[in-house]
Amino acid sequence: MRRFLPDLIQLIWDHEIVDPGKVFDLTLPLDQAAEGYKAMDERRATKVMLTL
For 6-38, the pLDDT digits (tens) are 898 898 899 998 887 777 899 999 999 999 999
| pLDDT for 1 | 55
- Phi first, then psi, for residue 51 (nearest 5°) are -115, 155
CA-closest candidate to residue 51, choices 5, 14, 12, 17: 12
Domain ranges for the chain, please list them: 20-52
Which of the four pLDDT bands, split at 50, 70 and 90, describes residue 4? confident
Residue 23's pLDDT is what? 77
Q: What angle do CA 27, 31, 33 make, to 5 degrees?
A: 55
